[in-house]
Structure 1
Amino acid sequence: MMIDPHAYNITVRRGDFEGELCFEARVKELPDLAEYGDTFEEAYQLAIDAIETTAEIFAEKGKAMPMPKDVPDEYSGRVTLRLPISLHRALAEAAENEGVSLNQHLVNTLAYFSGFAAAVTRTRGSSYKWEMVRTTPKRKIASTCSPIRLVHSSKLDPDGGWQKTA
């Protein structure tokens, strides 16, 4: 069976690896495979070659080559959760104390703890567009009350600025 190495999910990133600045290529379907090159293109091509070589070795040994995985291009943004009643109550009360909906409180909390910050940018005219911006939390937040709590909440004022509410 012939494989298409370009169908595999290859990630190339630049970084400092063992004291050397170079590009690392990894293949999602083959987690132990890593190739390094001086350029993006070189690392990518080495990963393609490694996929082909791995397929040949697997075929010689009678092993099945992992198939390329389909990565969903779209997400609905909708998640359904089942929570213990006590956690649901605690989250709803925290949202009420912050003056936001339970949904917004959950989004704020998840965004904060996953390292994302929500940003609102004004588009042409007076409409607003939500964007998720990847950030790295700078410090740990210690809470003596609840294991999950909204640390900061802001509301957009009519002029497009931020009003701090917490």
Structure 2
Amino acid sequence: MSKKDLQYYLDLPYRIVLHPADEGGYVVEILELPGCLSQGETIEEALEMIEDAKRAWLEVALEEGIEIPEPARDTEEYSGKLNIRIPKSLHRILSEKAKEENVSLNQYINYQLSRGVGYPTKRSL
């Protein structure tokens, strides 16, 4: 078995978490690498900065012989189908909003859920 080097870890799909900072801009971190975080004025800058922070974190860990966690592997499979129960009044409001936007109820709910969790969307509504 070959020794895992810096490039090996840089190529792993670590999950990056980005959220607005209270003072403005964005905070970005890699949860699997404790303390690996950075900031940026824009989303793009924050994402560039976390790459620098990740490289530095990994370099120090390799030099110090610190165990480097690898990204968690998804073991569950997701079908993309979700059945939920909602109040009739909410169902009505969602249906009305979808009609106003001239999209299906499914598209409208998908878009709103994506926005709510910060998932990238293409605004087509």
TM-score (norm 1): 0.44
Higher RCO, 1 or 2 (CA under 8 Å, sep at least 6)? 2
The structure whose residues are more often strand, as a share, is 1
Distance across 2 between alignment mates of 1:43 and 1:6? 19
Distance across 1 between alignment mates of 2:45 and 2:106? 38
Q: 1:15 to 1:108 in 2, by over 3 A?
A: farther
Q: Which amino acid aligns with 2:29?
A: R
Distance across 2 between alignment mates of 1:4 and 1:51? 8
Partners of 2:18 and 2:28 within 8 A in 1: yes
Count of aligned pairs between the two proteins: 99
> Secondary structure at the residue paired with 2:51?
helix
TM-score (norm 2): 0.55
Distance across 1 between alignment mates of 2:72 and 2:35? 16
1:28-82 deviation digits (Å, cap 9, x = unpaired): 322433211122222111111111111111111212212233468x622679xxx
Bigger Rg over Cα:
1
2:51 equivalent in structure 1: 48
Q: Which amino acid aligns with 2:17?
A: T
Partners of 2:39 and 2:46 within 8 A in 1: yes
The structure whose residues are more often helix, as a share, is 2
Q: 1:52 to 1:23 in 2, by over 3 A?
A: same
In structure 2, list runs of 5 or more residues that go unmatched.
117-125
Identity of aligned residues (%): 24
Q: C-alpha root-mean-square deviation of aligned residues, in Å? A: 3.9
Distance across 1 between alignment mates of 2:19 and 2:74? 19
